[in-house]
Amino acid sequence: AWAEWPFSQWRAGFRNAEAFWREAARVPGVGEHHTAMVNFFARQYLDMLNPANGLFTNPVVLKQTAASAGANLVKGLGNWVADATGVPTAEDLAMRDQFKVGVDVAVTPGKVVYRNHLVELIRYAPQTATVQPEPVFIVPSWIMKYYILDLSPHNSMARYLVDQGHTVYMLSWRNPDERDRDLTMDDYLEMGVLEALRAARHDAGAAELHAMGYCLGGTLLAIAVAALSRAGGVAGYPDLPAPKTLTLLAAQVDFSEPGELGLFIDEGQVTLLDHITKGQGYLTGKQMAGSFQFLHSRDLVWTRQMREYLMGEREQPNDLMAWNADTTRLPARMHHEYLVALYLKNAFAYGRYRVGGQPVSLSDLRMPVFLVGTERDHVSPWRSVYKLHLLSDVEITFVLCSGGHNAGIISEPGHHNRRYRIATRPERGEWHSADEWLQQARQVEGSWWPAWESWLTRHSGAPVKARPIPASHALGNAPGQYVMQRYAE
């Protein structure tokens, strides 16, 4: 339909405007940061003016309107009124309860075996007669509910691992409120990672652990593991060794090129965010979600509104969308510290980030690393994730998978149209740039999960008999209490 006149002319004009602004944004003498900002905001403005957003400039909408005698517009008006007033339609109510935590998602059997003020530690029940002797300890990002890694049974990473004979420990972060305004990055490191890591090791009978972190959870885990790997370890944790292996999923350790998210993180923006969070004591989930909508406005705002308000098609939810709507908060002080230390100062990459009063360095890592980036990641661009190769000489197996920050990671076996590239740089191996790696890496069709599971198995000992979770260790059933915390924003 877009090939017909006059729509073809509008489409061509829009694409020409996009090309013009890509060129116009590059002005001699203007710094790279401000050039990127001009380009980004020009694209936001153009996305708003896209002819696909209009009733009379979108041929698909016009044909649907003629075919349905305007029924799509009536339905779309009802959708708009529901969104504007906050009063859901009958269809909205029917869809709202499709994915309940502990009923439809986050249903892998397990027990909470440790709890402190900040985290719960879930141990999943074994599903095989024998298991690998080294459990997998997982740290999700604190800006998300953990069950993105335990969605529906068919696409749950936690379920996949236990079905393959791994014992899995999962962190579940508490959803902070105004009383937690003074929690710090050190609190998140100690209470969130180190204490839980020690509790998992104790529960596993002092076994070695495989450690995995996702997004900012991976960044925090990398800081903790680097600190544990240095001479002397971490003060207060003399009995806690570094894990046997380290896996980082879409996790940056060098923030010099953080992608489009970095456009909004400078000293002025941090000051503004401090002012916003000072009174309430936290950054709300709604405020954080708005940032990601801004980054993906074409898909998350304009295309969605066109479909729902002009085509009359309510977006059908899935488990990943339901998880995405289950927002979390960030304590004000911790939020400020991580923006300044990681984004503004890039302290971790430069060896200036301090744990227990001493700087930590990724050069202290001694274990093999499995590193995953995703092709369309706007939060942790894969070339930024790849920079770990510059900061550590350990063996690194790097995987670049199709999809974005979330959908690329949740890529279970059998998922259609999935592929990945994989290559391993040996310990102290030759350096290759990200683009060189891309040319040399082997491409594989399908999910990257089996490749990771095989890697874990190769770095594990001989299987041992599975142990049930002792009743004396259980504080309650999975998914626990903290994941259920929700607040009206």
Rounded CA separation 272/136 (Å): 39
Rounded CA separation 401/139 (Å): 20
DSSP state of 309: I
The answer, yes or no, to whether the previous bond of 468 is cis (omega within 30 of 0) is no
C-beta separation of 108 from 99 below 8 A:
no
C-beta separation of 167 from 131 below 8 A:
yes
Type of residue numbered 27: V
C-beta separation of 69 from 75 below 8 A:
no
Helix (H, G, I), strand (E, B) or coil at 25: coil
Type of residue numbered 183: L
Q: How far is CA 310 from the centre of its chain?
A: 31
Token duo for residue 181? 């305004």
Rounded CA separation 362/366 (Å): 9
Strand partners, 354: 359
For 161, residues 6+ apart whose C-beta sits below 8 A from its C-beta are 124, 136, 168, 453
Q: How far is CA 84 from the centre of its chain?
A: 29
DSSP 179-223: GGTT--HHHHHIIIIIHHHHHHHHHTTS---EEEEETHHHHHHHH
- Separation of first and last alpha carbons in the chain: 42
Q: Which residues are catalytic?
A: 215
CA-to-CA separations, 33 to 43, 288, 464, in angstroms, rounded: 15, 22, 54
The C-alpha torsion from 184 through 185 and 190 to 194, rounded to 10°, is 160
Token duo for residue 479? 């998914």
Rounded CA separation 258/465 (Å): 44
Strand partners, 100: none
